[in-house]
Structure 1
Amino acid sequence: MLLLAAAPAVVLAQAPAPCPEKNVLYWQAFPPGGESDLSARHQQVVLKKRCAAIDTIIQYKAGAGGGLMWSQMNSLPGDGLNVVGVNLPHIVFQPLEGEVQYKTADVTPVFWFHYTPDVLVVPEASPHRNFADFIAAAKKAPGTLNLGGSGRNSANHAAHERLNAAFGIKSTYVPYKGTGDMAVAVVGAQIDGAVTYTPFAIANKTKVRALAVAMEKRHPLMPDVPTFRELGVDWVDGAYRGIGVPKSTTPEARKKLSDLWAQLNAEPEMKELAAKSGFELVNVGVDQMEGFMRDKTKLYTEGAQRLGLGA
C-alpha cells in the first residue's frame, strides 16, 4: 500500500508541464534582431512542437533600454498567458539610475533561461587586429574610440565602464535601442566597435572581429579569441535573460510557466539552437528565484557604482 501511494507522486514529478490553454503573448522589451528576440524565436519554435494547439505571439514594446516595457508589464492581464522578456542586470541598474517608472521589486521573474557572456568586437575592416592593438589605440587618443552597446545602464554599458577601468583607457559609450540597431552601426563601421554578447560575435563572425571574451575558457565557436582572464583581468560576466509576469499572476500560473520553460530548455533542439547561437543555458525557476534575485541584486547594486548610479 505504501508503494502504491508513493507511485503517483513520482509520476507527477516527471509529468510534462501542461500546455497553455490559449495563445501566449510574449512581450519583448527590445526591438527585433537582438539576442532577446532570437531567444524568443527559438522558444517559439520549440513550444509550438510541444504545444501544437496554441501559438506564441511575439510582441515588441521597445524603448528606454527595455525600461518602457518593464514599467508597463504590471498593467498586463495576470492570466498566465502574458509573458514578458526580462534581463539582468538591466532591471537592477535602471531603477538605481532613477529615470524609469519601475523598481526592481516591481518585476516578477519566473524563469531565467540563459546567460550571454560579454565580448569586445570591432568591424572586420578595423585596423585593430587584436586586443593589444585596440588598447594601444585607445591609450594613444583617449576618448576618441566610440563603442556601441544595447541600452543605457545595461549589461553592455556596465561592461564598457569595466573595460575602461580595468585597462586604464577612456572610450566613449554609444547606446542603441537594442543589439539589432547596434549591429547596423558596428557592421557598417559607423562606430569603432561594440561591447556586446557572444551570440552577436558568432552570428556576424565574417563581419566583425572579436578581440576578447568574458568567459572562464575560450568559447568553442571562437577558439582564437582570448578570454579577459588570459589578458590579465578576472572578468567573467554578461547578461541573463528570462521571463517575467505581471504581479497579478497567481503563484500557480507562475509555477506552470516556470516548469514549462524549464522543459523547453531541456529539449535537445533548444540545446542545439543555444549552442549554435552562443547562448549558455541556465535553469533558475520559481523555487530558486528568491535567493537568486537577492544575490544578483546585491552583486549588481555594488557594480552600479561604476556607472555612478544610486549615488
Structure 2
Amino acid sequence: MKRKFLILFSTACVLFILPACGANADGSESTENYPSESITYSIPFDPGGQSDVEARRQQPYLEESLDQDVVMQYKPGGGGSVGWSELINKDPDGHFISGINIPHIILQPLANDDTGYQTEDIVPVAIFQATPIGIAVSKDSDIESLEDLVKKAKESPGSITAAGSGTYSGHHIALLQLQDLAGIEMQYVPFDGAAPSIQAFLGGNAEVIFGNSSDLIKYQDDMKILAIGSEETFKPLPDVPTFKELGYDMTAGIDRGVAVPPETSQEIIETLEKAFLDILDEDGVEDDMYDEGFEPKRMGHEESLEYIEQKQSEYSKILENVEEN
C-alpha cells in the first residue's frame, strides 16, 4: 500500500511539473525551453538586398545568444506582402520570425484590400535599422536648396519630375509628405527599384530624386543633396540638413525590424527583443551600418508598436488628402 501511494504521488508530481517546464498556461512555449530548435529567419525580398545584408550581419550573433541555428529563408513577392502573409499564419512558437519594413507593412494594407495581411496582424519584436530617404538634384541644376526647389515648384505646379522607387513606397510617401507640408505639386515618376530610379536620375530623366541614403552617399559627387529624412543629422552626411531643420515636420526613410506571428507569448518576444538589440552593442556593428549608409535604431517591442501606430496615422491622413484631391 505504501509503495502504491509513493508511485501515485511521484506520478502526480511529474504531471504537475512537466507543463511548467514546457509551456505557459495558454499553451505557448515558455522561455525556459525556448528556443528548442532552429529558428527560421524569413526575408520577404530577394537575396542580396538591404534587408538581407542586415539579417546576414545579425545571423552569427543571434546563433550565439540563442544557442540555436538561424536558417535564412527568402520569400520575395508583392513588395514583401507574400512573406508577411506567410508570417501571420505561422505557429506562434518563436521558431519563425520575419524581417519587416516600414512603411511597406503600413502602406500596402492602406492602399490595397488584398495584401493577405493587415498591419495589426504583425507583431514587431524590434526595429534596429533605417535607411533615411533624401531629396537631391543634379550637380548642374540651378536649384541650390530645398527652398529653391519649393519656390520653383510653386511657380510652375507639376512641371518638376521626381524619380523614386515604387508607388505607395517609402519614396512615394516622402514626396507626398513634402508636397502636403510645402503646398507644392511635383510629377512623381516611379521606377521598379531604387537602382533603376537613381540611374534614370543620373541619366537626366528626372529633375529630382528621392533616394536611399546608401545611394546618395555613393553618388554624392554627382548631385546636390538638399535634405535628408533622418530625425537628426545623419552621420555619413553631416553637412546635409534634415527636413525638420528646414522647417518641414517630417522624417523619411525605410525602417527595418523583425516580427513574430500573432499570439506569440510576451516571454518569447522579450527573449528575441534582447537578442536583436544586444547586437547593436557589439564592437563595430553601428560603425559598419553607418559606413554602408544605414542608420542604427534601438526600438523594442512596445516602442515599435507605438511607432507603427504613429506612422499609420500619419500615412492615413496623407493618403486621404491624395484621394480627396
Matched with 2:284 is 269
Q: CA deviation at 1:160?
A: 0.5
SS of match in other structure, 1:281: strand
CA contact (8 A) 2:228 2:243 kept: yes
Range with greater deviation from structure 2 (135-144 or 157-166)? 135-144
Q: Which residue of 2 aligns with 1:222?
A: 237
Contact 1:26 1:82 (C-alpha < 8 Å) held by counterparts: yes
- Of 168, 191, 207, 1:153 maps to 168
Deviation at 1:297, TM superposition (A): 3.7
1:100-115 to 2 correspondences below 5 Å: 100-115=115-130
- How far the C-alpha of 1:230 sits from its partner, in A, is 4.3
Query: Residue 162 in 1 paired to residue 177 in 2?
Result: yes
**CA distance in 2 between partners of 1:67 and 1:297 (Å):** 17
Q: Is residue 131 from structure 1 mapped to residue 150 from structure 2 by the alignment?
A: no
Alignment of 1:68 with 2:100, yes or no, is: no
Q: 1:306 to 1:44 in 2, by over 3 A?
A: farther
Counterpart in 2 of 1:231?
A: 246
The residue identity in structure 2 corresponding to 1:308 is E
For residues 121 and 49 of structure 1, what CA distance do their matches in structure 2 show? Answer: 41
TM-score by length of 2: 0.72
**SS of the residue 1:266 aligns to:** coil
**1:253 pairs with 2:268:** yes
Distance 1:43 1:256 in 2: 15
Give the Cα–Cα distance (whole angstroms) in 2 for the partners of residues 209 and 62 of structure 1.
34
Say whether 1:242 aligns with 2:248: no
Q: Which residue matches 1:191?
A: 206
Q: Distance in 2 between matches of 1:189 and 1:23?
A: 49
Corresponding residue to 1:83 among 74, 80, 97: 97
Question: Counterparts of 2:110 and 2:94 in 1: how far apart (Å)?
Answer: 29
Would you say the 8 A contact 1:203–1:277 is kept in 2? no
Q: Deviations over 1:126-170 (max 9, x none)?
A: 565543554455445432433233433233222101222333332
Tell me the distance in 2 between the aligned counterparts of 1:133 and 1:33. Answer: 37
The alpha carbon displacement at 1:260 in A equals 1.1
Structure 1 residue 213 displacement after superposition: 1.6
1:28 to 23, 37, 43: 43
CA contact (8 A) 2:235 2:290 kept: no
The 5-angstrom pairing of residues 172-191 of structure 1 reads 172-191=187-206
Aligned residue in 2 for 1:281: 296
Residue 301 in structure 1 maps to residue 316 in structure 2 = yes
Q: Is the 8 A contact 1:34 1:179 kept in 2?
A: no
Alpha-carbon offset, residue 71 of structure 1: 2.8
Distance 1:46 1:191 in 2: 42
- Which whole-Å deviations, capped at 9, do the CAs of 1:265-303 have from their partners, x for residues lacking one? 221222112222343322222354554544444444344
Which letter maps to 1:231? L
Q: Distance in 2 between matches of 1:261 and 1:290?
A: 16
Out of 55, 58, 77, the residue aligned to residue 40 of structure 1 is: 55
Q: Percent identity?
A: 30
Amino acid at match of 1:87: N
CA distance in 1, matches of 2:193, 2:222: 18
Q: Label 1:33 to 1:86 Cα distance change in 2 as closer, same or farther (>3 A).
A: same
Please, what is the CA RMSD of the aligned residues? 3.6
5+ residue gaps in structure 1? 1-16
2:106 — aligned with what?
Answer: 92
Q: C-alpha separation between the residues in 2 aligned to 1:33 and 1:177?
A: 16
Name the amino acid aligned to 2:300.
Answer: G
Greater RCO, 1 or 2 (C-alpha within 8 Å, sep 6+)? 1
Query: Structure 2 stretches of 5 or more lacking a match?
Result: 1-31
Q: Is the 8 A contact 1:18 1:260 kept in 2?
A: no
**Aligned equivalent of 1:59:** 74
Q: How many residues align?
A: 293
The separation in 1 between residues aligned to 2:203 and 2:218, in whole angstroms, is 15
Verify the 8 A CA contact 1:25 1:83 in the aligned structure 2: yes
- Cα pair 2:162 2:188 within 8 Å, conserved: yes
Aligned to 1:4: none
